[in-house]
Amino acid sequence: MATARSNLEALADWLAATAKKIFLEDGEHGTTAHIWVKGYPLFVGVTGSEGSKDALRALLEMAARGGADGCGVVTECWASGGDPESLARALAWRASGRSLEKLPGRKEMLCIGLASPAGIEHREFEIHRTGSKLRLRKQPPTEPYVNRFLSDLPWPTPPAGVRRRARRAARGRTKTGRSHG
């Protein structure tokens, strides 16, 4: 299902729309793992401890090795900016044992990531809270995108014949070498 790039993008859009709806209705979105197997989504809630985050990564690795169509994570997070100085300041702040929630200049974000053998897609929304009002503003994609849960998942390598056919199809050629289209 999520092996084609277009399907991966469509799933990421669907997951982002669902996460936004839940966030705007509830005012929060707990960390959830999403695994697609044979086209069916499975959802797992995750608590905030480091041990449970390690378990989440292990779960996603098992799903990828087992041939899942795709794996996703939705979470609220903090962003400190995109430049090296902001990153260094955030890392020093965190290393001192302080929460990034209190970091001056930080942004509250709703982050959606989805990975499959076709790659990784992500959507990010800045959260604006004004009294009891909530608003989400889509952020431009950050590249390179690194996600501790989704980056470098161990997807199975298809057999050689399947890889050759996939490469030929990507080039628009059949076994005879003729182009279609």
- pLDDT tens-digit profile of 94-121? 889 888 778 887 888 899 999 999 888 8
31 is in which domain, residue-wise?
5-171
**Segment holding 85, helix H or strand E:** helix 84-95
In a domain, 143, yes or no: yes
Q: What is this structure's pTM? A: 0.74
- pLDDT tens-digit profile of 4-59? 677 888 888 999 999 999 999 998 888 889 999 988 889 888 876 777 888 899 99
In a domain, 177, yes or no: no
In a domain, 179, yes or no: no
Residue 93 CB: number of other CB atoms within 10 A?
A: 17
In a domain, 82, yes or no: yes
Q: Which residues pair with 179 in a beta bridge?
A: 173
In a domain, 24, yes or no: yes
Q: Is the pLDDT of residue 70 over 80?
A: yes
In a domain, 20, yes or no: yes
In a domain, 155, yes or no: yes
**32-37 sheet: strands from edge to edge:** 40-45, 32-37, 70-79, 107-116, 119-130, 133-138
Confidence of residue 1 (pLDDT cuts 50, 70, 90): very low
Provide the domain count of the chain. 1
